[in-house]
Homo-oligomer: A and B are copies of this chain.
Amino acid sequence: MFHHSSKLQYEVRVDNPDPQFAKYLQQAIGGVEGEIRVAMQYMFQAMGARGDAKYRDMLMMTATEELSHIEFLGHAVALNLEGAPLTVQEEATRDPVVKAIMGGANPRHILSSGLSAMPVNSNGVPFDMSHIYATGNIAADMMANAMAESGGRVLASRLYNMTDDAGMKDMLSFLIARDTYHQQQWLAVIEELGGWEKALPVPNSTPEEHEAMEHSYYFLNTSLDEPTPEGRWTSGPSLDGRSEFSVRDEVKPEGQKPDLGKARPHSATQVEQQ
């Protein structure tokens, strides 16, 4: 069950409100790199967690933290919209420069939300919940989470560069820090479970007889003119310790030429196809 306290997790200060930056910040709320995504992803993973209960607890605790991030980012968006023009009089609409700057704002911050945050990204596209990745497999889920936090910290770093407002930089430095931790938190679970050697291939419970193992350890060079890019993935022991990496570069289809034959009667195809 959830509870709330009335103060924000972190202080939010905006020295110079900026409607364009409000639009940019939306990416951290409703973007695929944003906080709605991680809050909901960790919550759904927690609700489906099977196995050692401590992972479920950890997921739910961090889901709860991410909800608090949505909250203070939402406040940051609203503060950046303070003073945005609500009428063409204020806007000094005949000043083409002012008008142009407003052209870079999200019109829905004025028209739809009344100068506050929305669950959309920086293009105004609403977040959709298909981005909540939760497979029930703890290794797959931990990777999804580490990935989400990596995307999140990339985004926060870019936002940090795109503002010179001291308050916003301070808030973003906090987000950058928490994303640092969360990346490691999820990867630490994999380390605790034995690292890649034990976790891979995910799922590590798939019986070997379900796998055509002769195809499991080669890099396939599908290029007609480019040599194989050599690296850790083309030779040496596989990360799961089961085999050696190799390369296949004379690519040869192993299957048939597909042929579905004629269409059946009553298939609403053209007569010529039947």
* Cβ contact within 8 Å between A147 and B176: no
* Cβ contact within 8 Å between A162 and B269: no
* Contact digits for A180-193, partner B, Cβ 8 Å, 1 yes 0 no: 11011101110111
Alpha-carbon gap, A143 to B269, bound state (A): 14
Number of copies: 6
Which residues of the partner chain B approach A172 to less than 8 Å between Cβ atoms?
A: 210
Alpha-carbon gap, A219 to B40, bound state (A): 19
* Cβ contact within 8 Å between A57 and B111: no
A71-B43 in contact given A184-B240, A255-B7 (Cβ < 8 Å): yes
Which residues of the partner chain B approach A211 to less than 8 Å between Cβ atoms?
A: 173, 176-177, 180
* Cβ contact within 8 Å between A210 and B137: no
Which residues of the partner chain B approach A199 to less than 8 Å between Cβ atoms?
A: 270
Interface footprint category on A: 35 or more
Alpha-carbon gap, A136 to B272, bound state (A): 12
Alpha-carbon gap, A257 to B239, bound state (A): 32
One of B8, B191, B239, B257 near A256 (C-beta < 8 A):
B8
Alpha-carbon gap, A144 to B143, bound state (A): 8
Alpha-carbon gap, A206 to B159, bound state (A): 12
CB distance from A171 to the nearest CB of B (A): 9
One of B50, B61, B268 near A226 (C-beta < 8 A):
B61
Q: Which of A118-137 contact B (CB under 8 A)?
A: 118-137
* Cβ contact within 8 Å between A118 and B44: yes
Which residues of the partner chain B approach A52 to less than 8 Å between Cβ atoms?
A: 272-273
* Cβ contact within 8 Å between A113 and B136: yes
CB distance from A17 to the nearest CB of B (A): 12
Which residues of the partner chain B approach A31 to less than 8 Å between Cβ atoms?
A: 108, 111-112
Alpha-carbon gap, A128 to B120, bound state (A): 10
A114-B68 in contact given A174-B215, A176-B210 (Cβ < 8 Å): no
Q: What are 5 A-B pairs with beta-carbon distances under 8 A? A: A4-B60, A11-B256, A123-B124, A137-B268, A181-B215
